[in-house]
Amino acid sequence: MKQMSDHKHFDTIEEFYLATRPDNIEELCRDLYCVVHPRSQRPEKAEGPESDSWRRSLPDLAELLYDLPAYLKRTAEESWALEDDLEKEILAVDALRRSPALAAFTGSADLAEFEKAPGRAAVKKALDFELSSSLRSVEECFSALKKESLDKALESLKTQKDALEKNRQKLLAPAERIPLPGVSVDLERRLPALSEDGAGERPAKAAGQPPRMDVLLKDEARGLYAIIELKQWTEDSMEVVTGEEDGEKRCFVRVTPYDKDSEHPAVKVRDVYKKRLVSEAAAGGKEAKVRCLVYLHNQFYDGGQLFRAREQGVDIYDGRGQGNNILFTRMRCRSMAEAVAGFFKQ
């Protein structure tokens, strides 16, 4: 294993996997903290949102890449537990739809009555997924209890449950480990600053250091690079906002807990990270073939807000066909693994 000055490097997938195991993850987080904050003293324990993200997302990805059969088994087990929760929510919402007290709830001006309504949490969760509504105001809370809203919430919950059942069959099919000989791993790899070759590239909204890639898988001998952006977002904590800026369509994700906008991850890896990586290789007289991937390892369902960007005129493919889809959810982890294996097998 070799420690680079501006990123953390592993010669093999196995080295990366071992570094993320429980006995070693804290050491890795400390290394990454020093990479991202080069002027800081090495902490006894890496703290902060970025460190929490490393602790959760890196072991998850490392297991997917190194031991796919174990990862599929764990995902299937988690999906069963989630399906049980969905079934309880479906029953609660259905009971609320049939309740004679529904009219009293919707006709009341007392928010406390809404809070007592059976199935309220399930309604909110379903509506958050389907409509990206956080039910912030009293009016929104009461509107969620209208029959048509409850019907939509119930349909959404059933769709999620059906999707779990359908996709679980792929998880349970026999699988082998992903063969990735010759592939090394860079973590928190800093991308080069814009050059004249990148003059047409959209500049970053905030000034500061060039961006870093979460994970870069690479076979430098063959000029193959896979950028992996790791996201822990779930549908109930974000919404997608699209619009135009300087005559160009833009797509942002508003993450509620952080109260800030972030560029859609699929667009970011394709239009920013990929372009800079190709430009860097060209500056060194080399060619780079790049695959863009975003792994939503906490999001079990696709078809939600992040996937609707294309319906609003923002392409989220690394190319023009669905075979080049950038986004992968947890239940699509096998497809994620196949995309990585297929790319490096060429």
Residues 228 and 334 in one domain: yes
Residues 167 and 184 in one domain: no
Say if 290 falls within a structural domain: yes
Residues 223 and 295 in one domain: yes
For residue 166, what pLDDT is reported?
A: 86
For residue 105, what pLDDT is reported?
A: 53
Burial call 169-196: b when 16+ CB within 10 Å, e when fewer? eebeeebeebebeebbbbbbbbbeebee
C-alpha to C-alpha distance for 323 and 110, rounded to whole angstroms: 51
Residues 57 and 191 in one domain: yes
Say if 224 falls within a structural domain: yes
Say if 50 falls within a structural domain: yes
Q: What pTM was computed for the model?
A: 0.82
Residues 298 and 152 in one domain: no
For residue 190, what pLDDT is reported?
A: 92
Residues 59 and 186 in one domain: yes
Residues 140 and 27 in one domain: no
C-alpha to C-alpha distance for 79 and 197, rounded to whole angstroms: 46
For residue 209, what pLDDT is reported?
A: 65
For residue 116, what pLDDT is reported?
A: 61
For residue 269, what pLDDT is reported?
A: 95
Say if 49 falls within a structural domain: yes
Number of residues written out for the chain: 346
C-alpha to C-alpha distance for 15 and 184, rounded to whole angstroms: 9
Q: What are phi and psi of 230, to 5 degrees?
A: -100, 125
Tell me the mean pLDDT per 10 residues along the chain, length 346. Answer: 70 98 96 87 87 95 98 95 88 75 54 57 56 46 67 84 88 93 96 55 50 95 96 79 81 76 90 92 91 93 79 82 85 94 93
For residue 53, what pLDDT is reported?
A: 93
3-state DSSP call for residue 91? Answer: helix
Residues 228 and 288 in one domain: yes
Burial class (CB in 10 A: 0-12, 13-18, 19+), 262: middle
Residues 184 and 304 in one domain: yes
Residues 36 and 94 in one domain: no
Say if 102 falls within a structural domain: yes
C-alpha to C-alpha distance for 134 and 127, rounded to whole angstroms: 8
Q: What are phi and psi of 61, to 5 degrees?
A: -65, -40
Residues 186 and 164 in one domain: no
For residue 154, what pLDDT is reported?
A: 85
Residues 168 and 183 in one domain: no
Q: What are phi and psi of 305, to 5 degrees?
A: -55, -45
Number of domains in the chain: 2
For residue 312, what pLDDT is reported?
A: 80
Domain of residue 113, residue span:
89-172
For residue 259, what pLDDT is reported?
A: 66
